[in-house]
């Protein structure tokens, strides 16, 4: 089964004349780690939002884990996202006024997995991400940026998602922390076997991935609009 | 969601505390006004029962009601004793209570009357006066105290007290010549009776007697023996048939020997309540406007917070929250503030009336229970919560709309 399958996707902002995205084909196999290269403003975040289902495409199909997103109701998409898709951003990954545990518990809650959620499991997860378990009751906004990004990984995989989306997750980190973060992220992938779509402008990070895709190459939106002129 | 809403409010404690304070004050005003209204109404209606007519010197019916029943203010004039005897002797009259007002003891009104008072006076449903201790007065120098008088001044049966002329509690004409003995103490009624010192009609004359006593050369017992009651202040009448009240009222209003007024307590109460009621409605409207302003403040605070919470709200969506969750979260925050404000306001009102209770009862003859518990109060509190929910729909629905389509982005 493919983790992600995009076919003839087209997305136009309401009120805009020309589409921002037009992707005829993009596939991520189950367990595959794909590096999506894209400059800022190239529509990376929009593409990830479409995959996560917080934005809805105007045309084309997006299948995640074999399920077409636009056949679902908005409520089903929210539930699907909570259960099957983990997301890590550049920053602001955590609710700042909740504790580390509170953030993890909230993520479990949206996936209706509060039964499975336990403090022990959360602490194990934190420790496997090189986070001291004493941080669990610390408010998220009291952590260092590096710690926050690692808690963000924990938050993203707490519900054991099959798909992990990452949007420039290392941009706010210094070189050492960046390296450590990438190592953790890829070890997580080995540990959980989830598919990964990692969007970044930084080519240097692409080496560790199975495959590299350039958004500029697969997005034909500009060409389409140009041909209309 | 509870944990999230609570932590969220805690993280914005500055603006939340100010909003909470404003909401608490306005809810305290609403609860306080409603509480006073309910309490005033019930103590009002409870004060007198079973009296068909109040009779006094010619005056307005509200004034007559105020001084004869509530013991507030003064009579414009007295009634001749002869008039009382004429009226009491009429065939329609079942019973009559003569009362004579005008003096005070430590700020409590002294009321002269006779045994009929203890036999016929009714309050509340139609409860009779009951002596908690002792017996009714049987001579001019005995007094029966209302329960609050006895409590506040620490008097007990058998104690000697001095009654002075005038209604202030610092009268300088304070004669020790005729000390009164407490013969009995009434059980609590929750009416002005509790704040009254009852003596016989002759007892009232005895107090007046003290004023000029140095000059006439008689000793105290001789003076007492010669006491005659010439005037009283008002009469409470019970009739054989309530239907007779109208005819009787007309007869008294046209009494040939002196100008008298007769009023039906129910009619006078209604008129007085109407005067008070207008003020009360005004207060009610003002308190609701104040509450509305505070709720708008709450709504504004939440609306303003949406801008700084843009990324927080987008993050909820990213980890699987529905737009409805966002709406409910904002609503829950508003509701938590409102519930807390209602609780604080309730305690504030209770504390306020606990502190001010004695003063209110002395100054305005208002007996106010400190803990509001009428259905009206709960209705107002419930209404405030409902209003909070409705007004919060403004920021909550804006947040809802904005989170329908969210671009998950880092920056």
Each residue's pLDDT tens digit, B159-193: 888 876 554 444 444 445 568 889 999 988 878 88
Give the pairing of strands B160-161 and B180-186.
antiparallel
**Complete DSSP assignment for B282-326:** HHHHHHHHHHHHHHHHHHHHHHHHHHHTHHHHHHHHHTT--HHHH
Residues of A in contact with B407 (CB under 8 A): 45-46, 49, 54-55
Best of B11, B319, B404 to disrupt the A interface by mutation (most A CBs within 10 Å)? B319
**Does the CB of B308 have a partner CB in chain A at under 8 Å?**
no
**Does the CB of B406 have a partner CB in chain A at under 8 Å?**
yes
Give how far A185 is from chain B: nearest CA, Å.
Answer: 18
Three-class secondary structure of residue A156 per DSSP: helix
Residue in A90, A102, A105 closest to B410 by CB? A90
Q: Which of A26-30, A102-106, B276-280, B367-371 has the lowest mean pLDDT?
A: B367-371
* Burial A57-71, CB ≥16 within 10 A → b, else e: beebebbbbeeebee
For domain A2-228, which architecture applies? 3-Layer(aba) Sandwich (3.40)
CB A77 within 8 A of CB A69: yes
Give residue B289's pLDDT. 93
**Does the CB of B318 have a partner CB in chain A at under 8 Å?**
yes
Give backbone dihedrals phi and psi of B131, rounded to 5 degrees, phi first.
-85, 125
Residues of A in contact with B312 (CB under 8 A): 92, 95-96
Q: Do B408 and A98 touch (CB under 8 A)?
A: no
DSSP conformational letter for A141: G
Give residue B214's pLDDT. 46
Query: For residue range A146-180, what is the model confidence (pLDDT) as tens digits?
Result: 889 889 999 998 888 899 999 888 888 888 888 88
Residue in B8, B317, B409 closest to A167 by CB? B409
Cα B239 to Cα B165: distance, rounded to the nearest angstrom: 33
Residue in A40, A54, A105 closest to B318 by CB? A54
Q: Do A97 and B311 touch (CB under 8 A)?
A: no
**Does the CB of B6 have a partner CB in chain A at under 8 Å?**
no
Residue in A54, A90, A102 closest to B411 by CB? A90
Cα B337 to Cα B354: distance, rounded to the nearest angstrom: 25
Give how far A166 is from chain B: nearest CA, Å.
Answer: 10
- In chain A, domain spans: 2-228
Residues of B in contact with A52 (CB under 8 A): 318, 408
For residue A181, how far is the Cα from the chain centroid? 15
Q: Do B311 and A82 touch (CB under 8 A)?
A: no
Give residue B17's pLDDT. 93
DSSP conformational letter for A207: G
How distant, in Å, are the alpha carbons of B200, B202, B222 from that of B226? 15, 10, 6
Nearest residue in B to A158, CA atom:
B319
Residues of B in contact with A83 (CB under 8 A): 320
Closest by Cα among B260, B243, B239, B252 to B52: B239
**Does the CB of B319 have a partner CB in chain A at under 8 Å?**
yes
Q: Please give the ipTM for the structure prediction.
A: 0.90
Q: Do A87 and B4 touch (CB under 8 A)?
A: no
Q: Which of A49-53, A115-119, B52-56, B96-100 has the lowest mean pLDDT?
A: A115-119
Q: Do A95 and B318 touch (CB under 8 A)?
A: no
Residues of B in contact with A54 (CB under 8 A): 317-318, 405-408
Cα B222 to Cα A70: distance, rounded to the nearest angstrom: 110
Q: Where would I find the H helices in B180-322?
A: 201-209, 220-225, 245-253, 265-308, 310-318
Q: Has residue A6 got a pLDDT over 70?
A: yes
| This prediction's pTM | 0.74
Residues of A in contact with B329 (CB under 8 A): none
Give residue B220's pLDDT. 60
Nearest residue in B to A78, CA atom:
B320
- B210 vs A85, residue with greater confidence: A85
Give residue B221's pLDDT. 62
Query: For residue range B2-54, what is the model confidence (pLDDT) as tens digits?
Result: 888 888 888 888 899 999 999 999 999 999 888 888 887 777 777 888 889 99
Give how far A105 is from chain B: nearest CA, Å.
Answer: 10
Residue in B7, B405, B411 closest to A102 by CB? B7
Residues of A in contact with B8 (CB under 8 A): 97
Show the low-confidence residues of chain B (pLDDT under 70).
164-178, 209-226, 361-367, 409-411
Q: Do B11 and A87 touch (CB under 8 A)?
A: no
Which contiguous run of DSSP H or E holds residue B83?
helix B81-88
**Does the CB of B315 have a partner CB in chain A at under 8 Å?**
yes
Q: Do B319 and A55 touch (CB under 8 A)?
A: no
Name the B residues in 376-395 with CB < 8 Å from any A CB. none
Cα B102 to Cα B110: distance, rounded to the nearest angstrom: 7
Give residue B209's pLDDT. 66
Give how far B296 is from chain A: nearest CA, Å.
Answer: 26
**Does the CB of B11 have a partner CB in chain A at under 8 Å?**
yes
Residue in B4, B11, B411 closest to A106 by CB? B4
Give residue B407's pLDDT. 78
How many contacts does A have with B, using Cβ atoms within 8 A? 89
Best of A38, A78, A82, A163 to disrupt the B interface by mutation (most B CBs within 10 Å)? A78
């Amino acid at each position: 089964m493919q983790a992600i399958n995009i076919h003839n996707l087209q997305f136009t902002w309401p009120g805009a004349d020309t589409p921002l995205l037009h992707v005829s084909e993009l596939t991520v196999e189950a367990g595959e780690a794909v590096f999506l290269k894209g400059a800022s403003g190239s529509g990376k975040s929009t593409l990830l939002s479409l995959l996560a289902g917080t934005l809805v495409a105007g045309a084309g199909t997006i299948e995640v884990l074999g399920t077409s997103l636009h056949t679902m109701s908005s409520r089903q998409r929210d539930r699907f996202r909570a259960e099957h898709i983990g997301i890590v951003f550049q920053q602001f990954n955590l609710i700042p006024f909740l504790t580390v545990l509170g953030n993890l518990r909230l993520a479990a809650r949206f996936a209706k997995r509060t039964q499975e959620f336990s403090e022990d499991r959360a602490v194990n997860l934190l420790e496997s991400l090189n986070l001291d378990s004493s941080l669990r009751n610390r408010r998220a906004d009291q952590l260092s940026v590096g710690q926050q990004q690692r808690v963000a990984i924990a938050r993203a995989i707490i519900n054991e998602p099959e798909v992990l989306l990452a949007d420039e997750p290392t941009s706010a980190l210094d070189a050492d922390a960046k390296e450590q973060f990438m190592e953790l992220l890829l070890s997580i992938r080995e540990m959980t076997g989830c598919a990964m779509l990692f969007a970044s402008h930084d080519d240097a990070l692409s080496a560790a991935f199975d495959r590299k895709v350039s958004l500029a190459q697969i997005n034909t939106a500009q060409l389409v609009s140009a041909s209309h002129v | 969601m509870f944990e999230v809403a609570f932590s969220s409010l805690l993280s914005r404690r500055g603006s939340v505390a100010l909003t909470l304070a404003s909401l608490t004050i306005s809810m305290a005003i609403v609860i306080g006004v409603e509480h006073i209204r309910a309490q005033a109404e019930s103590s009002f209606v409870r004060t007198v029962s079973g009296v068909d007519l109040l009779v006094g010197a010619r005056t307005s019916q509200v004034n007559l009601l105020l001084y004869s029943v509530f013991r507030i203010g003064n009579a414009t004039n007295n009634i001749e004793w002869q008039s009382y005897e004429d009226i009491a002797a009429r065939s329609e009259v079942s019973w009559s209570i003569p009362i004579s007002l005008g003096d005070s003891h430590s700020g409590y009104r002294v009321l002269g009357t006779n045994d009929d008072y203890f036999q016929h006076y009714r309050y509340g449903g139609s409860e009779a006066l009951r002596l908690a201790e002792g017996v009714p007065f049987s001579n001019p120098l005995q007094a029966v105290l209302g329960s609050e008088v006895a409590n506040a001044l620490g008097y007990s049966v058998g104690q000697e007290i001095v009654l002075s002329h005038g209604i202030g509690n610092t009268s300088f004409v304070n004669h020790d010549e005729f000390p009164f003995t407490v013969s009995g103490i009434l059980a609590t009624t929750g009416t002005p009776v509790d704040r009254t010192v009852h003596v016989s009609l002759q007892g009232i004359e005895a107090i007046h007697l003290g004023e000029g006593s140095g000059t006439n050369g008689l000793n105290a017992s001789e003076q007492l023996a010669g006491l005659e009651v010439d005037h009283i202040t008002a009469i409470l009448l019970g009739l054989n048939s309530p239907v007779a009240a109208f005819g009787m009222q007309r007869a008294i209003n046209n009494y040939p020997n002196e100008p008298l007024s007769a009023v039906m307590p129910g009619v006078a109460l209604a008129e007085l309540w109407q005067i008070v009621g207008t003020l009360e409605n005004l207060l009610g409207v003002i308190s609701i406007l104040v509450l509305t302003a505070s709720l708008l403040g709450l709504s504004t605070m939440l609306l303003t917070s949406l801008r700084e919470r843009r990324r927080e709200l987008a993050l909820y969506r990213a980890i699987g929250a529905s737009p409805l969750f966002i709406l409910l979260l904002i609503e829950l925050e508003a509701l938590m503030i409102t519930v807390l404000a209602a609780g604080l306001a309730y305690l504030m009102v209770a504390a306020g009336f606990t502190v001010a209770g004695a003063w209110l009862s002395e100054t305005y003859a208002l007996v106010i229970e400190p803990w509001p518990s009428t259905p009206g109060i709960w209705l107002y509190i419930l209404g405030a919560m409902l209003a909070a929910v409705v007004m919060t729909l403004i920021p909550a629905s804006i947040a809802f709309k904005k989170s329908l389509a969210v671009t998950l982005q880092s920056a």
